[in-house]
Chains A and B, each alone.
Chain A
Amino acid sequence: MRAGVFLCECGGNISGVVDLGPLAEHARSLDGVVAVSINQFMCGTEGRALIEKAVEERGLDHFVIASCSPRFQGPTFERIARELRLGENAVAFGNIREGCSYVHAQEPERAQVKARKIVEGAVARLHHMSDLPRQRTFLSRSVLVVGGGIAGMSAAEELAATGIEVHLVERQQSIGGYMARLSKTFPTEDCAMCSLAPRLTGTAINSRIHLHALSDVTAITGPPGEFSVTVRHRPRYVNEKCVGCGECAAVCPVTYPNDFDFGVSERTAVHRPFANAVPATFAIDRKGWSPCKTACPVHTSAHGYVALVAKGRYEEAWRVASEPNPFPSVCGRICTHVCETECTRGNVDDPIAIAGIKRFVADHGAPAELPAPLPVFYDEPIAIVGGGPAGLTAARELAQFGYKATVFEALPVAGGMLRVGIPEYRLPRDVLQGEVDRITALGVELKTGQRCGTDFTVDSLFADGYKAVFMATGLHQSKDLPIPGLDQEGVLRAVELLRAQALGEQPSTGKRVVVVGGGDVAYDAGRTAFRCGADEVTLACIEDERTAPASSEEIEEGKQEQVHVEYSLLPVEILGSGGIASGVKFQRCTLGAPNERGWRPPLPVEGEYVELSGDTVIFAVGQAIVADFTAGAEGVVVERGQIGVDPDTMMTGRRGVFAGGDAAAMGPWTAIEAIAAGRRGARAVHNFLRGELLVPVWDSEADKVKIPHTELEPFEPQARRIMKTLDGVARRTTWEEVRLGFSEEDVREEAARCLDCAVCSDCKSCVTACPADAIDFDQKAWDEEITVGAVILATGHQEFDAMRKLPLGYSRFRNVLTQSQLARLLSASGPTAGELKRPSDGEVPRRIFMLQCVGSRDCTSSGNEHCSAICCLFATLHSSLIKQHYPDAEITIGYTDMRTPGKAHEEYYRLVQERGVRYVRGRVGEILEEQDGSLTVRLENTMTGSKSEEAYDLVVLSAGLEGSKGTQDIARVAGVQTAAAGFIRELHPKLAPVDTQRTGMFLCGTAQGPKNIPDSIAQAKAAAARAISMLSTGFAMTPAQVAASDVSVCIGCGVCEASCPQTAIVLTLGADAHSVVDPNICRGCGICAAECPTGAIQLGGFSDDEVLAEATV
């Protein structure tokens, strides 16, 4: 080390007490010192020249400045060292002025000794000082402003004015924030929107402000100056072609509580929150897919047609119902309706009767005329084997893709199991035929009486020029059980019986019928037997009553028709004599544990037998594939009772041959699953023929939306409508349809029960209505990476949830509102156009009570401790507005203390008192609702101690302010701390009120704490100024005085990580874990260095060696 010592006389301030000559001599004797100088003013140009000369001539690498406090001239000398290329941390200071001559002037001898020690200490320190690394940071001249309220807009405006590019990210669909929702502002009573609107427009047209509405900041990484920000743009579903005409909202069938109006009005799913919104584009509030849509195998938007039915728009409803499903009237009758199982309304009372609504739609909304044939785009003809729901659906889909499809049906009629498996009294023939006709009208050719393997083969189809084959042959054979007596006369199979009846034969079923089986088919067989002349029908199934597999409709209707059911019976033998069946012998059974496929094997109970006698026994224990098509279909393999297919491509073992429906599925064998399989098959064929993945074979399921149970409480139970049926026993002799459908009145009331889970019902009526073709349901959320130099957080506040104060009755009593809700009601652009109408009856309230400090200045666990700062004047403002508009109104404000600091606020408070508003210092114990909706307030006057009960027409709660949810979210993303009530902590409450703990991130507005509009704007501009001053130099260096960890010493214990108040330290993972300090975040306090149990982490300029060297001299 070659050190210099420079002693400053300070114009006598020092040299008047300390004799610098001997001090210089002493300094010269110290180890490592090669140059010593004395100057009158070391901080002057002469002093600098002295240092320069010494560095040049004597080769100094460090030096000591013995002069005033390092807090005064320290930076000057550090800069000189830097400019002389001695690096960071080359100067040690001997504070011989404030630390010696000034304070020991009366004891010069002792001052002299002390000065020697001070210089010794500084020189000792030099021995341990080494250069400190600094990182250079490029400063991007752009700023991210999070939050588009008045604070965010003001900051953005200020930044843009200096030429900085601003990215303004707003979570809502429009900027404007809370101020856009206010009626007027205190104390001037000028209209909030009038002062805001020019700002909104200004922000919109400013070319330097890049607005990202309906977007979230999901990540901020990298160093200050070059923050890398990920912005997630949520889909608007309305693109930039939108002209803001509002035609979409006019046709939207959904009504939803309007969050912009704090729930005091309703809005549509596609909407714009207010007229001056920026951007002016509408947006669709589409949370995902409603549970009914997700549950449906073909993803029919049940929500869509239900919403349209509620509005009486049946033709549009039919379009929604038939778009994914060519059989809406079939599914309206016999569908297993998993949509109803999943319906959220079921968690309130009973699910919406979706199937019944759909039937109404199909019966009353379908167009009278058949559709026109579709044009054929592609040359490849396609053969479909099987004219059931899967095959016909595939044919329709392929026709819609532009193919010529031909359906080969073995039976003389099309419809498959819908036609020959479901009895006419459940699904009338003409209803089904109508939908089959609609498919063939599109240009689908139907060839009946053509059995694959007999009349033609797969090989022959290809030979005839078909380019692809879709096999959907179904399961048309009854399964048998391996029990004796099956070959006797009077033993029937359900599938055969139903088919024979459907094809016009008149099967005989005897008088007393035993049906073996308990599923829908068993019921269908039993109930068909009634209609074929049986007097008595008994079903026997292995399941117990609880696990009975039939649908609830079949069980209910069976009961009405007096079908007798025996449970927990396992057939062991068909009884009979002379080849004629006379009954069935059963063994009592229980069900065992489910196997891996969920099937529960029956466990016979030893010795317990039951005999049921009858002249006919019908087996309905399952169906099987008729595998007669495999001849001439090499590669198409039937395994374990189904055609083997690749689940991704739907292709069988033979190229170009696809399969679907019951024949290729493990179940559940339902019509809607078959329709879904038909759609998949058509897409698979399309992809195969076109040679690329044009359409995904499987529907991608968007996020299912489920309203949590906690949010269902406000919904009042409403009974589900029951559909009328024909009389139970009388109908046993008729093939008339049993279920009669809903009346129009019932169907609309039923549809109105829908909770609008996903808000948007996916009815797509807006798509048709939009004149600008601006609706785009294919929009997806996407991420954008932005580089910014600084970040300003202006994410604002939210109103305290007054529901947390149960005794005040908010949300329970209709006429208890919050000040924010009142602001909407008083707003000229609000739902009532500024007329104050109380929610219960629309009357103008005469007696109004306002309660202050709801959730503020509250030390209970349900409230916040802080004062929300604006509520006293917010209530005063609203009282004044009401009083001016309705002079008869009697307004009482119950306050804790009136707090009116701020310019002209006290004057305003006095003015409003003079206008006749009554202020009572008091607390409310409880609010009670009377029959007519008016309210009784139990009030304790805290001035007089008296208690009273007062009657009011309207109560308004001045709910306090809390950090908004967006504020919590951005704090987590940005890595800044939040304090009580969710407000972001500033770096220092006095000295750095708009800085956060992270360098380069600033904050303003109510995200920092409760404040009024001018304070928010002032803070926003302060934050903008901080960002501007930071970015103005173009690049920056990280500070030298930061902590750094010596990897060779660090053992990775993690104590420093836990101790850092800035979360600047992270521990690396793995075997040789060690701590790493981010110099961009570290602020140099040194807590970590003091905590470190090994000394591995040290603070630049204040290492243990440096400190101890000076302290121990």
Chain B
Amino acid sequence: MPLTHRGREILSRVPAGTLQSTVGVGCEIVRHEELCVGCGKCAGNCPSGASERGALFDVNQLLDAPADSRRGALGGALRRLMRHEPDGPVEVPERVTVYRTIVYDNEKCLGCGTCVRGCPAEAIEARPPQADAAPTGSVHAAAPGAPAPEEVCA
């Protein structure tokens, strides 16, 4: 897959062996918080520390989650009780692990897609690099028949 300038620049400063795959570096990572189950695998897998399990929880994630999900069920119950919109994120006690908002730092992100492949809830998407970045270089297999960017990233 052609790499963007950013992708190549990122790749140049990543220690060898850090990434499961260099394919996809430079992707734009899009998180769908409403699908997130809060398991934290993305944070555990992230080679650059761009995703971290936060100390806070955005209550709106419950209210926005699909009704048939566990978070949605909790959100449904909360919605029946709520007297106003959430004040803001709540602090989460130590042993509550899945109701934490993942803090994602785009600046640290390599766009490698490791989190995308590891997400059991399919709540993260990697979008191929923007077309405006001229494809001037390539990494490994830029051969004809190389998989489409979508396949590679997700």
Q: Give residues in A with beta carbon < 8 Å to B.
A: 1051-1055, 1058-1059, 1073, 1091-1095
A1053-B121, A1055-B97, A1055-B98 known; A1094+B69 contact, CB < 8 A: yes
Our pick among B40, B71, B97, B120 for the contact of A1051 (Cβ within 8 Å) is B120
- Cβ-defined contact, A1093 with B41, below 8 A: no
Q: Which residues of the partner chain A approach B39 to less than 8 Å between Cβ atoms? A: 1051, 1053-1055, 1093
CB distance from B130 to the nearest CB of A (A): 30
Q: Is B79 an interface residue (CB 8 A)?
A: no
Tell me which residues across on chain B come within 8 A of A1053, comparing CB atoms: 37, 39, 41, 120-121
B32 within 8 A of A: no
Chain B residues contacting A1094 (CB-CB under 8 Å) are: 37, 69-70
Residue interface bits B27-47, CB-to-A below 8 A is 1, else 0: 000000000011111000000
**Known pairs A1073-B120, A1095-B70 / 11 extra A-B pairs, C-beta < 8 Å:** A1053-B39, A1053-B41, A1053-B120, A1054-B39, A1055-B98, A1059-B97, A1092-B70, A1093-B38, A1093-B39, A1093-B70, A1094-B70
User: Nearest A residue to B71 by beta-carbon distance?
Assistant: A1093
Closest 3 CB pairs of A and B: A1053-B39, A1093-B37, A1051-B120
Q: Which residue of B lies closest to A1050 (CB)?
A: B120
**Cβ of A1093: which chain B residues have Cβ within 8 Å of it?**
37-39, 70-71, 98, 121
Contacts of A1091 in B (CB 8 A): 97-98
In the bound assembly, the distance between CA atoms of A1053 and B38 in angstroms comes to: 9
Q: 6 A–B contact pairs at CB < 8 A?
A: A1052-B120, A1053-B37, A1059-B97, A1092-B70, A1093-B38, A1094-B69
Most chain B beta-carbon contacts within 10 A, residue among A1059, A1091, A1093 = A1093
CA of A1051 to CA of B98, assembled, Å: 14
Task: Please tell me if the beta carbons of A1051 and B70 are within 8 angstroms of each other in the complex.
Answer: no
Interface residues on B, range: 10 to 19
Q: How far is the CB of A141 from chain B (nearest CB, A)?
A: 42
Residues of A within 8 A of B41 (CB): 1053-1054
**Interfacial residues of chain B within 100-153, with CB under 8 A of chain A in the complex:** 120-121
Determine how close the nearest CB of chain B comes to the CB of A217; give it in whole angstroms.
33
B61 to chain A, nearest CB (A): 12
Q: Which residues of B contact A (CB under 8 A)?
A: 37-41, 69-71, 97-98, 120-121
Q: Residue of A at shortest CB range from B41?
A: A1053
- How far does the alpha carbon of A1054 sit from the alpha carbon of B42 in the complex, in Å? 12
**B44, closest chain A residue (CB):** A1054
Point out the residues of chain B lying under 8 angstroms from A1095, CB to CB. Answer: 70
CA gap between A1066 and B86 in the complex, in Å: 37
Alpha-carbon distance A172/B37, docked complex (angstroms): 51
State the CA gap A984–B40 with chains docked (Å). Answer: 31
What is the minimal beta-carbon distance from B87 to any residue of chain A, in angstroms? Answer: 24
Task: Count chain A CB atoms within 10 A of each CB in B69, B97, B120 and give the residue with the most.
Answer: B120
Report the separation of the CA atoms of residues A1091 and B70 in the bound assembly, to the nearest whole angstrom: 11
Residue of A at shortest CB range from B99?
A: A1093
Residues on the A chain within 8 Å of B70, using CB: 1092-1095
The main secondary structure of chain B at its interface with chain A is: loop
| Cα distance, A658 to B137, chains bound together (Å) | 57
Please name all residues of chain B whose beta carbon is closer than 8 Å to the beta carbon of A1073 when the two chains form the complex.
Answer: 120
Tell me the minimal C-beta distance from B62 to chain A in angstroms: 12
The one of A1051, A1058, A1059 in contact with B121, judged by C-beta atoms closer than 8 angstroms, is: A1051
By a CB distance below 8 angstroms, the chain B residues around A1092 are 70
Residues of chain A within 8 A of B38, CB atoms compared = 1093
How long is the Cα–Cα vector from A553 to B38 in the complex, in angstroms? 70
Nearest residue, chain B, Cβ from A1052: B120
A268 to B100, CA, bound (A): 63
Complex Cα gap A1094–B121 (Å): 9
Residue of B nearest to A1087 (CB): B95
CB neighbours of B97 from chain A (8 A)? 1055, 1058-1059, 1091
- Nearest CB of chain B from residue A1009's CB, rounded to whole Å: 27
Q: Which residues of B contact A1051 (CB under 8 A)?
A: 37, 39, 120-121
Best-buried of A1053, A1058, A1091 by chain B (most CB within 10 Å): A1053
Q: Which residues of chain B come closer than 8 Å to A1054, judged between CB atoms?
A: 39, 41
Chain A residues, Cβ within 8 Å of B37: 1051, 1053, 1093-1094
B18 to chain A, nearest CB (A): 22
Expressed in whole angstroms, the minimum distance between the Cβ of A1098 and any Cβ of chain B is 12
Closest to A1094 in B: B70
Whole-angstrom distance from the CB of B79 to the nearest CB of chain A?
Answer: 16
Residues of A within 8 A of B98 (CB): 1055, 1091, 1093
Nearest CB in chain B to that of A1092: its residue: B70
* Residue in B39, B40, B71, B97 whose Cβ sees the most chain A Cβ within 10 Å: B39
A584 to chain B, nearest CB (A): 49
Within the complex, the shortest CB–CB distance from A1071 to chain B, in Å, comes to 10
Determine the residue in chain A with the shortest Cβ distance to B36: A1093
Q: Smallest Cβ distance from A1085 to chain B, in angstroms?
A: 14
Give the Cβ gap from A878 to chain B, nearest Cβ, in Å.
48
Contacts of A1055 in B (CB 8 A): 39-40, 97-98
Distance (Å) between the CB of B22 and the closest chain A CB? 21
Cα distance, A1073 to B38, chains bound together (Å): 17
Cα distance, A1058 to B43, chains bound together (Å): 15
Complex interface: chain B residues within 8 A of A1052 (CB) = 120
Complex formed: what's the CA distance from A1093 to B70 in Å?
6
The residues of B that contact A1059 with a CB separation of less than 8 Å are 97
When chains A and B are docked, how far (Å) is the Cα of A1094 from the Cα of B71? 8
Compute how far the CA of A1073 lies from the CA of B117 in the bound complex, rounded to whole angstroms: 13
B40 cross-chain contacts in A, Cβ below 8 A = 1055
Q: How far is the CB of A519 from chain B (nearest CB, A)?
A: 41
Chain B's closest residue to A1093 (CB) is B37
Q: For the complex, what is the distance from the CA of A1093 to the CA of B99, rounded to whole Å?
A: 9
Nearest chain B CB to A485 CB, angstrom units: 52
Residue of B nearest to A1049 (CB): B70
For the complex formed, measure the closest distance between the CB of A1043 and the CB atoms of chain B, giving whole angstroms: 16
Chain B residues, CB < 8 A from A1058? 97
Chain B residue nearest to A1096 in the complex (CB): B70
Query: Residue on A with the closest CB to B122?
Result: A1051
> How many Å from the CB of A75 to the closest CB on chain B?
32
Smallest CB-CB separation from B39: which chain A residue? A1053
A514 to B128, CA, bound (A): 73
| Cα-based distance from A1073 to B41 in the complex (angstroms) | 13
Cα-based distance from A892 to B139 in the complex (angstroms): 77
Q: Closest Cβ of chain A: how far from B35's Cβ, in Å?
A: 11
Please measure, in the bound complex, the distance between the C-alpha atom of A787 and the C-alpha atom of B38, giving whole angstroms.
Answer: 42
Given the complex of chains A and B, what is the CA–CA distance between A1055 and B70 in angstroms? 14
A383–B69 Cα distance when bound, in Å, is: 84
A1055 to B120, CA, bound (A): 11
Complex Cα distance A1094/B97, Å? Answer: 13
Complex alpha-carbon distance, A1092 and B69, angstroms: 12
Give bound CA distance, A1052 to B121, whole Å.
9
Nearest-Cβ distance from residue B16 to partner chain A, whole angstroms? 22
Closest CB in chain B relative to A686 CB, distance in Å: 48
| Bound CA–CA A1092/B121 (angstroms) | 13
Residue of B nearest to A1056 (CB): B39
CA distance A111 to B40 in the complex (A): 47
Chain A residues with CB below 8 A from B71, complex form = 1093
- A18 to nearest B CB, angstroms? 31
Q: A1073–B118 Cα gap in the complex (Å)?
A: 11
A738 to B125, CA, bound (A): 81
- Report the minimum CB–CB distance from A1109 to chain B (whole Å): 14
Tell me which residues across on chain A come within 8 A of B121, comparing CB atoms.
1051, 1053, 1093
How far is B41's CA from A1052's CA once the two chains are assembled, in angstroms? 10
- The closest CB in chain A to the CB of B37 belongs to A1093
Q: Please measure, in the bound complex, the distance between the C-alpha atom of A1054 and the C-alpha atom of B38, giving whole angstroms.
A: 11
- Taken together as a complex, chains A and B put the C-alpha atoms of A745 and B69 apart, in Å, by 87
In the complex formed, the residue of A with least CB distance to B96 is A1091
A33 to B71, CA, bound (A): 33
Cα-based distance from A1059 to B97 in the complex (angstroms):
9
Task: Please name the residue on chain A nearest to B69 by beta carbon.
Answer: A1094
Q: How far is the CB of B81 from chain A (nearest CB, A)?
A: 13
> How far, in angstroms, from A1055 to B41 measured CA to CA in the complex?
9
B36 to chain A, nearest CB (A): 9
